[in-house]
Structure 1
Amino acid sequence: MAASCFNPFRLRKTKSKSLSIPSSSRSQLNIDTDNMERKRFDSLESWSMILESENVETWEASNEEREEWTADLSQLFIGNKFASGAHSRIYRGIYKQRAVAVKMVRIPTHKEETRSVLEQQFKSEVALLSRLYHPNIVQFIAACKKPPVYCIITEYMSQGTLRMYLNKKEPYSLSTETILRLALDISRGMEYLHSQGVIHRDLKSNNLLLNDEMRVKVADFGTSCLETQCRETKGNKGTYRWMAPEMIKEKPCTRKVDVYSFGIVLWELTTALLPFQGMTPVQAAFAVAEKNERPPLPASCQPALAHLIKRCWATNPSKRPDFSEICFSSFRPKLAYWHLSTIKSFWHEQFYGTRRVNSVCCQCL
């Protein structure tokens, strides 16, 4: 059976507080568990197609690896696939009675260069995720490794990616409050990431996930690196539409490449559009790196927000703000002011029968 290819390992112990499943999701979780019972990890029918691991080199986890991050595969249930990439597939799952996402990476054995890159990405992602814990970073749960198949188990984000959310919206339809709230979540996660010495290098709306409460979490650390080891940019580890010009030119990168990408994401929140729409990714990269072009800012964009976006995607990295400045100076005071104005508007309506317009608040943004 396929299960014979794997040894069940003990899940790492952690001092981090586990995140509870929202009450609205508990009944669905029970249904999912029942539906996934027949797709348990030791089921030949469901796993032989995924693993295809006959006649491959065996792998034995060290004691240290078992304790640090290795999953107890007997507790893993696999559901439907909901996303895929060139070398990976992502499935819904249940792990120890918790809704999870299971990223399965199949590493080609006949392409040595690709194999080496994907193995390094897996090791890097697990090493980074297992040390990160923040409300705006997707929570790592466990991982497993059996060449040529590797898997990473994280919390399940029920509302999908930010890009999926924006695709459902009319252009320019997000309220200022929604833009600020989503942007603050992202900047908080990135502020924490940078405080840990980590550069994401592929920040984009497809790597930002939403949960039941519509809170944003930063995800996908396959191309991330420690800032002290992140000088190499050969091979363009990122996505052209969100990539900083210095990365496109394969120059040494700093944490400011993430700030540039955040500027593009802010533009997405403002417009709900795909950046550089009408261009291919390569054309977008050429426009940014050689012609210093950026996506057009709409006239409806609040002046202060437009100013922040321009600062974030400045050509000179030293001109871009840090996420600590973005969090504390740009979003938190404005979001607090927005809530205060909303409360005042509510009481104005109760006493005078007309709703007070928050025009002053909007001008302050």
Structure 2
Amino acid sequence: MRNKREGIDFPQAIFSLIFIIIMIFSSLWIMRPFFLGFAWASMVVIATWPIFLKLRFLLWNSRVCAVITMISILLLIFIIPIFCLVNSLIDNSTSVISWLSSENLRFPDFYWLQDIPIIGEKLFLSYQKLLDEGGAELITKIQPYMGKTTEFFILQVGHFGRFVIHLILMLVFSSLLYWNGERTKNIIRHFAIRLGSNSGDSVVLLAGQAVRAVALGVVVTALVQGILGGIGLAVSGIPYSSLLMILIIIFCLVQLGPLPVLIPAIVWLYWNGNTTWGTVLLVWSCIVCVLDHILRPILIRMGADLPTVLILSGVIGGLIAFGMIGLFVGPVVLVISYRLISSWMDEIPAPSSLSKESKKHFLLKNKIKNK
């Protein structure tokens, strides 16, 4: 079975390859429970590494103090708000379900529609006609499903033990990465250079810039919009404004924007006759939505000079493919692919340069023939 020309033992090579594949697959299978926590920790550490360096400089170059401070900040940002959210949701779940399932849910009268100039009277008559023709029966039919649907989502949120475990793993891995950040970076860059020489190293650096761009452009924008939207909801007198603020942040992270939460709140205010606060919240919602188109491109450019469309496409596609962690994984994958394709294309001149060189070569060839 040995190839006499090249001196290669094919069975040995095949069995060695099978053994390596089995070992890699077994290692990945063993580490599978830790993937999500480690991925979150990697993204968080990469995005906050400049902050960690500044903290270490301010804390007398003490790595221990800087690591403890960063883990405390992450604890305040991730763990405590989530526990408060779940506790608040569980405490208020009974009242919400009973209200949706009760027989007190009715369409309002909307008498204030008559005060609208020109079209007010017509709108009010059309609305009353809708109620008389079965609007109340419609809400009676969908009432049981509203209660059951709400109860289902609340029960799903109640099973958050696995999510909490991943958050704890994220904190543990983050502390390890903060402590061995430079060494881990050198190992990754060494592996990338071994794979793709200098282009592999540049891809690793570009991936880090993409993670920071997403952290600044997407996450920070979502937090700003969520906080401003929550302030508007609280000032307008909307109940459960803290829960709705978390929903706004989630919707902004998945690129749906704050309107899926703010529009029902505005409708609810007009529904109950609070036209003044409904108008105030409407104007405030317009400001919060416009902020998305101004703040996000600026922050993305601060994180990395990459195409904004590429980052946003990676965010949306990664979220659909991988869940919340896809917010960071998606842009990184697209940026690496974009970088590799661009480097491969730049190995030859652009079409305009090719046409000029071809023209010169054609003229030189004609001169030689004429001679």
* Class of the TM-score when normalised by the shorter of the 2 chains: under 0.3
The normalised TM-score by structure 2 is 0.24
User: TM-score, structure 1 length as denominator?
Assistant: 0.25
Higher relative contact order by CA 8 Å / sep ≥ 6: 1 or 2?
2
Higher strand share: 1
Identify the structure with the greater helix proportion.
2
- Over alpha carbons, which structure has the higher Rg? 2
